[in-house]
Structure 1
């Protein structure tokens, strides 16, 4: 199948590479020359003419950073792709921007699938992403073999923006897990518990969720190398809070976590892992953060 992949960042690049390894003809494009160079180094073909690649593609995929990028790419796809092409977008964006993109694409006969993914860049590298999809069911059935290349779990959720909302629901819980850990670990550390002992007990306890277990090896060593940064989580929390406003759903705990992330950003941790809010709470308790 002829595929064109737009956006080869930390998530998009491994996804594109897996699709190429599965035997598909994949071209890629990205506004960053550095990302395009890295894609070429990993064996992917950079498009010399994105417009021509869009015109030739049977499926267009994208992994984009924000609403503005999605709307710009949707306009490009609408302008150059042929009628009946499927646009699979994996980005985390607002429901409003996604609906606007859907309208622009439908006007040109492009089938639009919102295929959000749950998992970090390491899970993308390992082809262990969970895909949450919404859009035309026939289009989903058509690209399901592609989605299965990205990870073991795929869920079809409806015809419209359900996948966008589901991604926000998942990320709300991820963010809140980091806030829970920040308070619990700070309480234990301030009371004299050993940092690594706490992680061993948490990993063997009833609260040892997959996300806690996934974080334990790194955070038990106080390693805040990012899989998803504080700045990225702030962006997602803003989307989550906006969705709450739109649906008249109070999200007081999420609002507090958003403020903790802002504090982490102000304290210089914006490019560290979002779990760096642990250090934010530690500082507030008078503990050294490192």
Structure 2
């Protein structure tokens, strides 16, 4: 097996994360070709996913939802061979990830379930954390590609289990920021200076990397998207649907979903999900 740097990598989806990953791959010496549903004036932009499969041995998919993932792998499937490894980075329902894997593997190619945590800055700095699932051989071969844009790779288990972990961790992230928004609103209503709330939170056991990143942005009313309302809402809808199908009462997740849905209805879907603090 030749080293992955000697092969070509295709990236599908040039949103916030896809652009950051592409830049990191190129900085690390990989030859990268790209495709996006909306054409972009960028280097090595090809005409279709099928053309990408003809050019590249490894394909990373950064599309936004279940429908887009399944459509993408269908478009790839006729051009794949045993040499190919397809890495799906979308946050989707576990059933959708399994269906995508089935489509890829029926064509003889290999599949890695590889959602990630980390948003815009982590992608730019090459500090994403990947949750991965797949065969031992596929994970071993794909590791240098993931390391180009990631600081940690956590092997989870069978395909769709990495996706389940991503949904679960996003539940905690969304709930944390919703709780932060409510706590900030309460302290402001009671006349407590914002800077005192920030100081108290920084010394509190409940402080986290997420709160450290979001609290300054919220106090500055800066809702530039690092992870958008519409994408977090999609993830909370998936979580709630999974809860219903397993007879679980996910009350906190449902509340976070509802607040995100309000932001969508107010036309803020493209803002950062911390806009729940508006």
TM-score between the two structures when normalised by the length of structure 2: 0.93
Partner of 1:136: 135
Partner of 1:24: 30
How far residue 218 of structure 1 moved from its aligned partner, in angstroms, is 1.6
SS class of match (1:27):
strand
Partner of 1:67: 66
SS class of match (2:130):
strand
CA contact (8 A) 1:86 1:139 kept: yes
Paired residues for 1:1-290 under 5 Å: 1-33=7-39, 36-37=40-41, 40=42, 44-48=43-47, 50-279=49-278
CA distance in 2, matches of 1:51, 1:273: 33
How far residue 204 of structure 1 moved from its aligned partner, in angstroms, is 2.6
SS class of match (2:22):
helix
How far residue 127 of structure 1 moved from its aligned partner, in angstroms, is 0.8
TM-score between the two structures when normalised by the length of structure 1: 0.89
CA contact (8 A) 2:9 2:30 kept: yes
CA, structure 1 residues 52+183, in 2 after alignment: closer, same or farther (shift >3 Å)? Answer: closer
CA distance in 2, matches of 1:88, 1:109: 14
For residues 239-274 of structure 1, give each alpha carbon's deviation from its aligned partner in whole angstroms, at most 9, with x where no partner exists: 111122233322011111111112223334333221
CA distance in 2, matches of 1:197, 1:272: 27
**Segment drifting more, 193-202 vs 14-23:** 193-202
CA contact (8 A) 1:116 1:132 kept: yes
| Aligned-CA RMSD value | 1.5
CA distance in 2, matches of 1:24, 1:218: 34
**Segment drifting more, 239-248 vs 144-153:** 239-248
Structure 1 unaligned blocks of 5 or more? 280-290
Q: How many residues align?
A: 272
CA, structure 1 residues 268+7, in 2 after alignment: closer, same or farther (shift >3 Å)? Answer: closer
CA, structure 1 residues 48+270, in 2 after alignment: closer, same or farther (shift >3 Å)? Answer: closer
CA distance in 2, matches of 1:56, 1:265: 39
CA distance in 1, matches of 2:268, 2:57: 42
How far residue 120 of structure 1 moved from its aligned partner, in angstroms, is 0.7
CA distance in 2, matches of 1:138, 1:54: 20
**Segment drifting more, 165-174 vs 69-78:** 69-78
CA contact (8 A) 1:196 1:221 kept: no
How far residue 171 of structure 1 moved from its aligned partner, in angstroms, is 0.5
CA, structure 1 residues 53+275, in 2 after alignment: closer, same or farther (shift >3 Å)? Answer: closer
CA, structure 1 residues 250+196, in 2 after alignment: closer, same or farther (shift >3 Å)? Answer: same
CA, structure 1 residues 49+275, in 2 after alignment: closer, same or farther (shift >3 Å)? Answer: closer
CA contact (8 A) 2:64 2:231 kept: no
How far residue 190 of structure 1 moved from its aligned partner, in angstroms, is 0.7
